[in-house]
Amino acid sequence: MPTPRTAKRQKIADLICEDIKHWIVTEGLQPGDRLPNEKALMERYECAKGTIREALRVLEVEGLVQMKTGPSGGAVIREVTIDPACRALRNFLHFQHVDGSQVYQLRRLVEVEIADSVVECLDAAGFARLRTNIAQCQRPHDDELSQRQHRMLELEFHNVLAEYCPNPLLRFVSQFLNDLLRDLVVIKKAYKPERHAFDEANIRYHIALVEAFEAQDREQVRQLMHDHMCDAEHHMAALEAEVVDQFLVLPETLKEAANLYSS
């Protein structure tokens, strides 16, 4: 008979790490505040210096504290960004063979809700950033580097909207999906050959969205963003089909090269 799986026993350092996180929240500590020194933590948790240092290293890797050296050093709480979490999730998905259709299955929902949530949140600085982004996208991009930068700028338009979203969960998911698309752009070279129809459609939608945001037309904003995501998904599907075709042609190309070499 198979034996039931036993729960993995947590290391003492991991338990201390989790307790410190709870303590930071309950005490209302803020970025820049210091944790107790090593001696105080050793007394609090009744453990060796090495265990405390291991727990602090975990917190540092997770981006929650910064270790400073010197007489006034120690663990200082830092403001946590979404970058470490995004990197961890992207690493997890690296071997899951995520494609554009799977990203857009979620992005079609998230971007519409993001757009809806910022209708009354965008300020003058936000509108200025969106217009600057559009102007940069309208510049010529004739070489490979500028074409790749252009694709990144198109995604940055949506990151600006996410920054103004009052819902941190929506904001995180949106920026994470945009990071995934950045990976796909680089891996699949979604910037070459140049795609004028895709470029023009993105600029057209972004201009219309800014106008709808200014008018605070929530219904128009939702419809435009939905159509924008459907159009972008269509272009991504065409790109991936093109990449597949290139791989299908590759063996024949190799055969031809081998024949030429043998002759």
Domain ranges (residues) in the chain: 12-77, 83-245
Residue type at 220 in one-letter notation = Q
Q: What integer pLDDT is reported at residue 249 of this predicted model?
A: 40
Closest CA to 202 of 176, 234, 238, 171: 234
The confidence score (pLDDT) of residue 260 equals 40
> Using the 8-state DSSP alphabet, how is residue 34 labeled?
B
Query: Is the entire prediction scored with pTM above 0.85?
Result: no
Q: How far is CA 36 from CA 12, 21, 45, 76, in A?
A: 18, 13, 12, 9
Fold (topology level) of 12-77:
Arc Repressor Mutant, subunit A (1.10.10)
Q: How far apart are the first and last CA of the chain?
A: 63
CATH tag, 83-245:
1.20.120.530
The answer to whether 77 and 33 have CB atoms below 8 angstroms apart is: yes
Q: Kindly report, residue by residue over 27-75, the tens digit of the pLDDT.
A: 889 999 999 999 999 999 999 999 999 999 999 988 889 998 877 778 9
Angle at 27 between CA 41 and CA 22, to 5 degrees: 65
pLDDT under 70: residue ranges of the chain = 1-9, 185-195, 240-263
